[in-house]
């Protein structure tokens, strides 16, 4: 840890230490000065003691004001940064207890699943899971609960909105424990990634379609094309009588028609 951070007045103990050092030195040295100056004048010494006390209260008050204001400005600045961050409707914070019940949800959850934070708090996380993802999500939550690691976790969680649509959020969470190490709950920031996941699934579906087209091209196009090339090769290199030529022309026509149908089918699939 850097020396700068150790002696930072942002630390509570540092504020107390500064206050005590200033106070002790003020009392010790001011008393020595007073006893040397007013050793024979008790009344003047008493008056100066009162002035010294008032001055001490005034100076320490200024010092505490400076330290408290500095900390307040820093905390307020951080608060504004967090407020700016979470004005994004796709970002938020949730907190659940050790049994999986919501204890806090940032208000922008309303923009994501249509429920207000008051409608969610007190209910279990799993209660808002779409039925088709219930088993998958339960396994993820059980794994986090059974984990003894102090590290954070990242999971994708499905939620069901008021209209019954599946919403996907990505959770970045930490385990909350008390001073004795007893589990208190979980705190997590979330991001709505439904659009990103939908786009990825769309790309996967498109990729699958392209693979099917490539397979179709291999089976549907190459077979008639090979026959056409074979017939052309016969015309060029083999002496054929009129009947054989007639038969080959018929096969050439049927292969051409088959190739045309295959190309039309591929064209229709590419436009889907």
Burial track 15-37 (b if 16+ CB lie within 10 A, e otherwise): beebeeeeeeebeeebeeebeee
Question: 91-192 has which fold?
Answer: Beta-Lactamase (3.30.450)
Cα 2 to chain center, whole Å?
30
Q: Report whether 91 contacts 69 (CB < 8 A).
A: no
Which residue ranges make up each domain of the chain? 3-85, 91-192, 199-270
Q: Collapsing DSSP states into helix, strand and coil, what is residue 241?
A: coil
pLDDT of residue 207: 72
Q: Which residues partner with 100 through β-bridges?
A: none
Q: What is the pLDDT of residue 101?
A: 92
pTM: 0.51
pLDDT value of residue 102:
92
pLDDT of residue 35: 67
pLDDT tens by residue, the chain, 272 residues = 444 444 455 667 777 777 788 778 777 777 677 666 666 666 766 777 777 778 877 887 887 788 788 878 887 777 666 665 556 667 788 899 988 899 988 877 777 888 888 889 999 988 999 999 889 888 888 888 887 666 788 889 999 988 889 889 888 888 888 888 788 888 888 888 888 888 877 777 777 766 666 666 656 666 777 777 787 877 777 777 777 778 778 877 887 887 777 777 767 666 65
Task: State the Cα–Cα distance between residues 158 and 164, nearest whole angstrom.
Answer: 12
**How big is the chain, counted in residues?**
272
Measured distance CA(167)–CA(198) in Å, rounded: 10
Asked whether this chain's domains 91-192 and 199-270 adopt the same fold, the reply is no
Question: What's the token pair of residue 10?
Answer: 């942002």
Question: What is the pLDDT, as a whole number, of residue 117?
Answer: 80
CATH class of the region 199-270: mainly alpha
Cβ proximity of 167 and 112 under 8 Å? yes
Q: Which residues pair with 104 in a beta bridge?
A: 95
H helices present in the chain, as ranges = 3-6, 12-37, 42-85, 109-113, 117-120, 134-146, 194-216, 222-237, 242-270
Integer Cα distance of 25 and 37 in angstroms: 18
Distance CA 224, CA 232 (A): 12
- Rounded CA-CA distance 251/223 in Å is 13
């Amino acid at each position: 840890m850097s020396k700068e951070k150790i002696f930072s007045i942002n630390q509570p103990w540092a504020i107390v230490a500064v206050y005590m050092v200033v106070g002790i030195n003020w009392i010790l040295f001011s008393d020595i000065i007073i006893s040397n100056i007013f050793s024979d004048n008790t009344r003047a010494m008493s008056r100066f003691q009162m002035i010294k006390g008032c001055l001490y209260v005034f100076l320490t008050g200024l010092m505490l004001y400076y330290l408290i204001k500095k900390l307040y400005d820093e905390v307020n600045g951080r608060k504004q940064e967090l407020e700016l961050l979470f004005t994004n409707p796709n970002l938020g914070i949730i907190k659940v207890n050790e049994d999986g019940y919501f204890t806090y949800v940032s208000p922008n959850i309303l923009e994501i699943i249509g429920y207000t934070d008051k409608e969610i708090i007190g209910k279990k996380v799993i209660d808002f899971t779409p039925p088709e993802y219930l088993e998958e999500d339960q396994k993820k939550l059980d794994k986090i609960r059974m984990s003894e690691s102090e590290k954070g976790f990242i999971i994708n969680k499905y939620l069901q909105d008021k209209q019954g649509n599946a919403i996907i959020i990505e959770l970045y969470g930490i385990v909350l424990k008390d001073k004795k190490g007893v589990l208190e709950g979980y705190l997590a920031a979330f991001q709505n990634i439904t659009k990103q996941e939908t786009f990825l699934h769309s790309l996967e579906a498109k990729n699958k379609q392209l693979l099917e087209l490539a397979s179709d091209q291999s089976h549907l196009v190459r077979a008639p094309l090979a026959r056409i090339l074979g017939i052309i090769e016969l015309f060029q290199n083999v002496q054929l009588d009129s009947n054989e030529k007639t038969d080959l022309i018929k096969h050439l026509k049927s292969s051409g028609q088959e190739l045309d149908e295959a190309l039309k089918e591929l064209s229709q699939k590419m436009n889907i």
